[in-house]
Amino acid sequence: MEYLLRMENVSKIYGNGIVANKDVSFSLKEGEIHALVGENGAGKTTLMKILFGMEKPSSGKLYLRDKELDINSSNDAIKHGIGMVHQHFMLLDSFTVAQNITLGIEPANHHFVDENAAVAFTEQLSTQYNFAVDPRAVTGTLPVGIKQKIEILKALARGAKILILDEPTAVLTPQETEQLFEELVKLKKQGYTIVFISHKIKEIKAISDRVTIMRAGCSEGVFNTSEISEQEISNKIVGWKIDTSIHKKEHAFGEARISVTDLSYYGGEKVPILQDINFQVKSGMIMGIAGVQGNGQVELAEILTKSRRVESGSVEINQADIQSMTIKEMREKGFGYIPEDRQRQGVALTAAVNENLISNKYDTEEFCNKGILKKKKISEYARQMIAEYSVKCSGENGRIDGLSGGNMQKVVVARECMEETKVLIAEQPTRGVDIGAAHIIHQNIVKLRDNGCAVLLFSADMAELIKLSDVLAVMYEGRFVAYYENLSDITEEELGLYMLGIKKQDESQIRRMRYE
């Protein structure tokens, strides 16, 4: 028996005719870390959902230790020792860690949950696998890195021998990622088999033994990781040779477009969420903001976009105080915003692609005549944008929720990055977006910058920040702890130390953000 698990000629065709997997074969050797890579919509997650019993394959067979497997639900998969950690955590925020880990398998005494036994069980589990978690902590209050550990422990608690991790590093800092990798290697040594879904090629090279590459629902083959180069993986993922380098125009920065002075924010809490925030973003400049999730970045972006109020200090955009303006007035002066949560804030899910493309300019003379929309003009414009950003969709009239995440994000970027855009706030513009789409988004943000737009970029992706930013600041516990005017010799590791609050630059360097 060479393989622990085999999936043979698996296809998945949805009711609406969309082909998610086409004749895919996939195999796992016992005790390996197997990377599954591909762009968004390449069918990685669908394939793993089939393995985990969440989707039924249209055709194809599954074998575990050469015995045919019949999996109809996640419960069946769990019984066969298959566990999955989903990209979006399946945790109950109001429950404690122990309650989450034992959910569905609670130790009970005549139908009453034995809370102490659950805590003891969790403690035993966390020492056994060397994952430090506090069993009594309320899950919702914990950072993502810990939540992920809880998810892994949850799978292990249910007897998983095969662990499927769906994009586990998407939300982690470099240090957290490194720690996760150490833990995964330890699990591997204990005989666990791990499937690692990702589209970060560096990580795949670092951790996996073998790699299966998927593109457009098909498998492009399986390789020993040591025998394939990063460039080769990347080419196979996109299907053609891709150059993701970015060229920025050398120029002097212009006048300040975003000025934040002495901004502090409590938001009803006793501890400040933001404290003494001072910075300026100038015309033609991209300022990157790095930081572990939950250190005030979201609140800062929400203040700048007026969904939270300025408590103290001042925020000026295009030299005008934002408190005296409505969002509409700000937008009329060339303000663009790419929100973090594209499904909730970025698009109107049930509206069409063309409607989403003009939602910030539907009432301009270009698209509207005395209250009546100019349908033709709108369609023309939408088609032009779809071509320019190579948005994959059935047509400009199709609903946007039929698009993959990456293509949806392209629509948001196309809408927000206009010629008139003078200030752009971009939050995680390429989160969960594949290489090809991310490159298009990067190019357009840089194009805006080259044309004199001021860009404030929030990102959890270090490589993206270093690649795009002209200047870079790190946030920790609501303050700036580092500021770089020259990015040429920053390393991700060094940034990580600032992000975790282990290092801090002295005040004089941070004060430079104010008067540059």
Partner 1 sequence: MRELINIIFTAQFLHSVFRVTTPILFASLGAVIANRAGVANIALEGIMLISAFFGVFGSAATGSALGGFLIALLSGLICSGILALFTLYYRANVILGGIAINSLASGGTVFLLYLFTGDKGSSTSVASKTLPEIAIPVLKDIPFLGDILSGQNIMTYLAFIMILIVAVFLGKTTLGYHIRAVGENLKAAESVGINVKLTQTIALLLSGLLCACGGAFMSMGYLSSFTRDMVSGRGWIAVAAEAIGRSNPIITAGASIAFGFFNAISTAASTVGWASSLVQTIPYVSTLIGLFAFSYKEYLKLKKR
Residues in the site for partner 1, rule: CB under 8 A?
73-75, 78, 84, 86, 89-95, 99, 103-106, 108, 111-113, 154, 158, 267-268, 307-309
Planar angle of CA 504, 507, 509, nearest 5 degrees: 85
In the complex, what is the shortest distance from the CB of residue 401 to partner 1, in angstroms, rounded to a whole number?
A: 17
Nearer to partner 1, 249 or 309 (CB): 309
Among 516, 43, 468, 498, CA closest to 287: 468
Nearer to partner 1, 158 or 431 (CB): 158
Give the chain's length.
516
In the complex, what is the shortest distance from the CB of residue 378 to partner 1, in angstroms, rounded to a whole number?
A: 33
* 51 CB-contact burial (10 Å; exposed 0-12 / middle 13-18 / buried 19+): buried
In the complex, what is the shortest distance from the CB of residue 79 to partner 1, in angstroms, rounded to a whole number?
A: 9
Q: Which two tokens stand for residue 487?
A: 């990015």
In the complex, what is the shortest distance from the CB of residue 298 to partner 1, in angstroms, rounded to a whole number?
A: 12
State the Cα–Cα distance between residues 335 and 126, nearest whole angstrom: 48
In the complex, what is the shortest distance from the CB of residue 355 to partner 1, in angstroms, rounded to a whole number?
A: 25
Strand-pair category, 372-373 with 320-321: unpaired
Q: Which residues contact 173 (CB under 8 A, 6 or more apart)?
A: 145, 292, 460, 496, 499, 500
Q: Which two tokens stand for residue 390?
A: 């190579």
Q: With H, G, I as helix, E, B as strand and everything else as coil, classify residue 380.
A: helix
Residue with tokens 């990067």: 442
Q: Which amino acid appears at position 311 of this protein?
A: E
Q: Which amino acid appears at position 499 of this protein?
A: M
In the complex, what is the shortest distance from the CB of residue 104 to partner 1, in angstroms, rounded to a whole number?
A: 4
Nearer to partner 1, 94 or 127 (CB): 94
Three-state SS letters, 303-369: HHCCCCCCCEEEEEECCEEHHHCCHHHHHHCCEEEECCCHHHHHCCCCCEHHHHHCCCCCCCCCCEE
Nearer to partner 1, 86 or 161 (CB): 86
Among 218, 415, 226, 425, CA closest to 339: 425
Number of CB atoms found within 10 A of residue 371's CB: 6
Nearer to partner 1, 74 or 443 (CB): 74
Nearer to partner 1, 115 or 492 (CB): 115
In the complex, what is the shortest distance from the CB of residue 91 to partner 1, in angstroms, rounded to a whole number?
A: 6
Nearer to partner 1, 17 or 104 (CB): 104
Nearer to partner 1, 186 or 309 (CB): 309
In the complex, what is the shortest distance from the CB of residue 140 to partner 1, in angstroms, rounded to a whole number?
A: 10
In the complex, what is the shortest distance from the CB of residue 132 to partner 1, in angstroms, rounded to a whole number?
A: 22
**CA torsion 279→284→290→296, rounded to 10°?**
40
In the complex, what is the shortest distance from the CB of residue 115 to partner 1, in angstroms, rounded to a whole number?
A: 8
Nearer to partner 1, 92 or 216 (CB): 92
Nearer to partner 1, 19 or 138 (CB): 138
